[in-house]
Amino acid sequence: MSEYQDSHTRRTFLARTSCGLGAATLAQLFSSGNTAPAAGLPGFPNFTPRAKRVIYLHMSGGPSQLETFDPKPGLAQWDGKPLPAEVRGDQRLTTMTSGQGAINVMASQHKFARHGQAGMDMNTLFKHMPEIADDICLIRSTTTDPINHDPAVTFLQTGSPLSGRPSMGSWLSYGLGSANENLPAFVVLLSGGGQPVPSRYWHNGFLPSRHQGVKFQSSGDPVLFLSNPKGMSKENRRKTIDRISALNQLKHQQSGDPEIEARIDAFQLAYRMQGSVPGLMDISQEPKNVLESYGAQPGKASFAANCLLARRLAEAGVRFIQLYDRGWDHHDGITNAIKGKINAVDRPTTALLQDLKERGMLEDTLVIWGGEFGRTTYAQTRNRNFGRDHHPACFSMWMAGGGVKPGMTYGSTCEFGYNVTENPVHVHDLQATILHLLGIDHEALTFRFKGRDFRLTDVHGKIVKEILA
């Protein structure tokens, strides 16, 4: 049984005793005057962390490694020819290409250049990211299991392709707690259009509901239904929440249900957020030069605005900030479509790292960039307006700050960009490494559910020690 559940067993005992001590203890524990940041599990972090927080830039849809960070100039001689059977092996195809007939190689139409002291390869469409080449650790050998979007994102975020498990941000909230009692530990921001991004990607699963991610809006009302209704004053809102909390406390004393405790916390946090969130989400307070560096415009939702908000949220103490940028699912027209996506993320991503670095925050902030899988070497269509299908066997991601080696390229793929040839990094390995950088032993952060101890990495995962600074 986990430490967390032990503590709830003790609380349940106190709540159900009629000697008065249990009720008094609970009333003090759940009172609206309790303003201390929520602590995590006893003993966590397990060792000194290198990172205090995470900003995860998820490129939803699966960016092509062949058009971003893993050039394969040798494909030119294979252009239009069948992909060799020995390269493909027994890897499955999606239903979108399994019936198209020929599986022909299509060389990238883009140019690449090397940047930084390590000579990191990037598409020349990246005009700003070369400035941070010496700050990032590029992993070319990431590999995953699912071949379709929804299970692949679910697997990356929760460690299982099936929905119902807690997301990574929820695990961190559960283990490490919150660093700011006026804000959620786990915040989500969305930009772009295209592939759906359902809320279960940031769900708490079987963990207490207080650990669920909270979606913030980058324009308009920062959080849905956060503002008071017309005619409701702040004083009346406070009185209403106090009365609701009192009723919930009475019910908790009767049943000991930990979800009632989570409900009390949610009401109290929502009230505190009414005072803290609107100002935090107002990027017009930023100096003009900062807004220009990100390419963000106050009042206009964009990936750029979300990157700036991510820095503000990190500065305010949010533990896990997840940005989803949609529109990377290029089944056709990849040559032109990738231009718009790179242009949208290039400048703000670069500005985010530089801003964190200038503020002395990059050293303890882990920044992650990547999608749920890569794209195929072969063309999904048979003309020059080609696209690429889903490819889980190898893709590129990068990390920066938070204890990761800077200016490093780790792992490699074959000449076709179809298989990992050196230092594979499975999704479970990536998850184990992220937790390690936050001071967490991935095998120790567990929660007992339905008679089994679950964890983010399931029963797998090894730390990629070679990329640790």
> How would you class 370 by CB atoms within 10 Å of its CB: exposed for 0-12, middle for 13-18, buried for 19 or more?
buried
321's tokens: 């900030």
Q: Is residue 255 scored above 80 in pLDDT? A: no
Q: Tell me the mean pLDDT in the region 225-252.
A: 66
pLDDT-based confidence at 11, cuts 50/70/90? very low
C-alpha to C-alpha distance for 79 and 312, rounded to whole angstroms? 46
Residues 385 and 448 grouped into a single domain: yes
Q: Is residue 125 scored above 60 in pLDDT? A: yes
**Angle between helices 258-280 and 303-316 in degrees, nearest 10:** 110
- Which one-letter DSSP state was computed for residue 374? E
Q: Is residue 162 scored above 80 in pLDDT? A: yes
Residues 84 and 167 grouped into a single domain: yes
Residues 272 and 157 grouped into a single domain: no
Q: Is residue 218 scored above 80 in pLDDT? A: no
Structural domain includes residue 186: yes
Q: Which residue has the higher pLDDT, 23 or 353?
A: 353
Residues 176 and 269 grouped into a single domain: no
Write down the pLDDT at residue 61: 97
**What single-letter amino acid sits at 358?**
E
Which residues are CB-neighbours of 253 under 8 A, at least 6 positions away?
15, 16, 22, 23, 26
Please state the pTM of the whole predicted model.
Answer: 0.85
List, for residues 94-112, the tens digit of each pLDDT value.
988 877 878 999 999 999 9
2-11, 110-119, 135-144: range with lowest mean pLDDT: 2-11
Residues 209 and 276 grouped into a single domain: no
Structural domain includes residue 199: yes
Which residues are CB-neighbours of 121 under 8 A, at least 6 positions away?
69, 70, 71, 112, 113, 114, 409
Write down the pLDDT at residue 171: 98
Structural domain includes residue 181: yes
Write down the pLDDT at residue 253: 74
Residues 129 and 217 grouped into a single domain: yes
Structural domain includes residue 19: no
- Which one-letter DSSP state was computed for residue 405? P
C-alpha to C-alpha distance for 42 and 172, rounded to whole angstroms? 13
Q: Is residue 29 scored above 60 in pLDDT? A: no
Q: 3-class secondary structure for 179-239?
A: CCCCCCCEEEEEECCCCCCCHHHHCCCCCCHHHCCEECCCCCCCCCCCCCCCCCCHHHHHH
**Structural contact between residues 375 and 150, judged by C-beta atoms closer than 8 angstroms:** no
User: What residues form DSSP beta bridges with 409?
Assistant: 138
Last residue of a domain, one of 213, 245, 280: 280
Q: Which residue has the tokens 């107002």?
A: 282
**Structural contact between residues 351 and 307, judged by C-beta atoms closer than 8 angstroms:** yes
Q: Which residue has the higher pLDDT, 19 or 436?
A: 436
Q: 3-class secondary structure for 30-58?
A: HCCCCCCCCECCCCCCCCCCCCCEEEEEE
Write down the pLDDT at residue 361: 98
C-alpha to C-alpha distance for 27 and 243, rounded to whole angstroms? 13
Structural domain includes residue 36: no
Write down the pLDDT at residue 430: 98
Residues 252 and 311 grouped into a single domain: no
Q: Tell me the mean pLDDT in the region 131-145.
A: 98
pLDDT-based confidence at 118, cuts 50/70/90? confident
Structural domain includes residue 420: yes
- CATH code for position 444: 3.40.720.10
**Structural contact between residues 45 and 364, judged by C-beta atoms closer than 8 angstroms:** no
List, for residues 56-92, the tens digit of each pLDDT value.
999 999 999 999 999 999 999 999 999 999 999 999 8
DSSP string covering 266-330, please?
HHHHHHHHHHHHHHHT-GGGS-HHHHHHHT--TT---HHHHHHHHHHHHHHT-SEEEEEEE----
List, for residues 433-444, the tens digit of each pLDDT value.
999 999 999 999
**Angle between helices 21-30 and 234-255 in degrees, nearest 10:** 140
Residues 344 and 252 grouped into a single domain: no
What whole-number percentage of the chain has pLDDT above 90?
A: 71
- Give residue 275's domain range: 223-280
Q: Tell me the mean pLDDT in the region 38-46.
A: 90
List, for residues 371-390, the tens digit of each pLDDT value.
999 999 999 875 668 999 99
Arithmetic mean of pLDDT over the chain: 87
pLDDT-based confidence at 464, cuts 50/70/90? very high
List, for residues 299-316, the tens digit of each pLDDT value.
899 999 999 999 999 999
Structural domain includes residue 136: yes
List, for residues 399-449, the tens digit of each pLDDT value.
999 999 999 999 999 999 999 999 999 999 999 999 999 999 999 999 999
Shortest CA distance to 368 belongs to which of 120, 136, 67? 136
Q: Is 452 helix (H, G, I), strand (E, B) or coil?
A: strand
**Structural contact between residues 102 and 380, judged by C-beta atoms closer than 8 angstroms:** no
Write down the pLDDT at residue 193: 86
186's tokens: 């786990």
Write down the pLDDT at residue 104: 93
The domain tally of the chain equals 2
**What single-letter amino acid sits at 456?**
L
pLDDT-based confidence at 202, cuts 50/70/90? very high
The DSSP H or E segment spanning 400 is strand 395-400
Residues 88 and 234 grouped into a single domain: no
Residues 388 and 423 grouped into a single domain: yes
User: What residues form DSSP beta bridges with 269?
Assistant: none
pLDDT-based confidence at 16, cuts 50/70/90? very low
**Structural contact between residues 122 and 112, judged by C-beta atoms closer than 8 angstroms:** yes
What whole-number percentage of the chain has pLDDT above 70?
A: 81
384's tokens: 């020059």
C-alpha to C-alpha distance for 301 and 344, rounded to whole angstroms? 12
Write down the pLDDT at residue 24: 31
C-alpha to C-alpha distance for 163 and 205, rounded to whole angstroms? 8
Residues 214 and 66 grouped into a single domain: yes
Q: Tell me the mean pLDDT in the region 105-120.
A: 95
Structural domain includes residue 71: yes
Q: Tell me the mean pLDDT in the region 216-240.
A: 64
For the chain, give the longest Cα–Cα distance: 83
Residues 180 and 246 grouped into a single domain: no
C-alpha to C-alpha distance for 161 and 150, rounded to whole angstroms? 8
